[in-house]
Structure 1
Amino acid sequence: MVWVRSEYAGELAVLSTWVAALLPWNVFYGAVSGGSVLFVRFPLIQVRYAFGLPFVRAVSVSSPVSAYLLQSGTSVQIAYAAWLVGAAVYLVALAVSVYYYREEARAESWPVDPVDALGALLVVSALSFLVASALFPERFFGVGFGVGGGLPGVSLPVGAVLQLVLGGVLLRAERVS
């Protein structure tokens, strides 16, 4: 089954890659230390919003690199390492998509179809994000799978699943040469 016509596959590949930047691959909401915390993790940044006692209100933004370094030596460092791998692969996909957008004719002459390349990069990145979601000490769909048994709350890998679907659609696109 083909879900995209070949003449639109290139545009869909570029658009899918750019949309993936705007989709949080993981959203966690939970109660900690008398307050609540909301983590919204995008491929290249994490926004943490803490509120209630004792936090009052605090917002912080971090990159995968800084989050990984901050967690150095902790039990969740491996989850942040998986995020870092997914972010690095996603950055490659983003660079390929920008080049493909600007230099379509040159990209089409590559030995590898750029649509397939972007699809594969999105799938690998999404799988890394799903691994990171499973390794975080948060409750994944309400069940604690991560290191440490899980924090009270719910973690949803919404964007990772959607990115996996987008990558799969690109890999299934039939191209006419």
Structure 2
Amino acid sequence: MVWVRSEYAGELAVLSTWVAALLPWNVFYGAVAGGSVLFVRFPLFQIRYAFGLPFVRATSVSSPVSAFLLQSGTSVQVAYGLWLVGAAVYLVALVISVYYYREEERAESWGVDPVDVLGGLLVASAVLFLVASVLLPERFFGIGFGIGGGIPGVSIPVGAVLQLVLGGVLLRADRVN
């Protein structure tokens, strides 16, 4: 079954890649030390917000590189490493999508279909984000699958699932060249 008409596949590929930047691959909300934390992880950055602690409201933004370096030597280093690799794969997709948008004729002349390239890169990074979600010590959909027993709360890989679907749709596009 084909979900995308051939003449719109290129536009959908570019738009899907850009939309994936706006979708958090993982959202976690939980309770720790008398307060609450919210982690919103996007492909290229993370926002952490702690609140409810006595006189403390803290917000921080970090990149996958700085988050990985911060977790170096901990039990979650592998999960953050997967996020870092997934972010690198996604960044390649983002660069290709910008090139494809600006130089469509040149990109269409490649030996490989740029829609397939973007679809494959979105699927690859989404799989890395999903595996990282499972390896985090947070409770995945309320169930503690992660290493370290789990922080009380809920972790939902909403963006990773949607990115996987978008990549799959692109890979299923019937392109007539």
> Which residue of structure 2 aligns with residue 30 of structure 1?
30
Please list every run of 5 or more consecutive structure 1 residues that lacks an aligned counterpart in the other structure.
Answer: none
Would the alpha carbon gap of residues 27 and 121 (structure 1) be closer, same or farther in structure 2, given more than 3 Å must change? same
> Which residue of structure 2 aligns with residue 65 of structure 1?
65
What root-mean-square deviation, in Å, do the aligned CA atoms of Structure 1 and Structure 2 show? 0.7
Is 2:53 the partner of 1:86? no
> Which residue of structure 1 aligns with residue 155 of structure 2?
155
Q: Give the distance between the partners of 1:67 and 1:161, measured in 2 at CA.
A: 22
TM-fit CA distance, 1:24: 0.3
Please list every run of 5 or more consecutive structure 2 residues that lacks an aligned counterpart in the other structure.
Answer: none
Q: Give the distance between the partners of 1:85 and 1:119, measured in 2 at CA.
A: 17
What is the SS of the residue equivalent to 1:3? Answer: coil
Q: Give the distance between the partners of 1:55 and 1:41, measured in 2 at CA.
A: 25
What is the SS of the residue equivalent to 2:58? Answer: strand
| One-letter amino acid of the structure 2 residue matched with residue 40 of structure 1 | V
Contact 1:79 1:136 in 2 (8 A): yes
Q: Give the distance between the partners of 1:136 and 1:55, measured in 2 at CA.
A: 28
TM-fit CA distance, 1:71: 0.4
Contact 1:35 1:55 in 2 (8 A): no
TM-fit CA distance, 1:84: 0.3
Q: Give the distance between the partners of 1:60 and 1:74, measured in 2 at CA.
A: 20
| One-letter amino acid of the structure 2 residue matched with residue 83 of structure 1 | W
Q: Give the distance between the partners of 2:152 and 2:120, measured in 1 at CA.
A: 34
> Which residue of structure 2 aligns with residue 2 of structure 1?
2
TM-fit CA distance, 1:149: 1.1
> Which residue of structure 2 aligns with residue 101 of structure 1?
101
TM-score computed with the length of structure 2 as normaliser? 0.99
TM-fit CA distance, 1:162: 0.1
TM-fit CA distance, 1:55: 5.9
TM-score computed with the length of structure 1 as normaliser? 0.99
Give the stretch that moved more between structures: 69-78 or 49-58: 49-58
Is 2:108 the partner of 1:141? no
| One-letter amino acid of the structure 2 residue matched with residue 67 of structure 1 | A
Would the alpha carbon gap of residues 11 and 29 (structure 1) be closer, same or farther in structure 2, given more than 3 Å must change? same
Runs of 4+ in 1 over 6 A off after TM superposition: none
Q: Give the distance between the partners of 2:123 and 2:102, measured in 1 at CA.
A: 23
| One-letter amino acid of the structure 1 residue matched with residue 150 of structure 2 | G
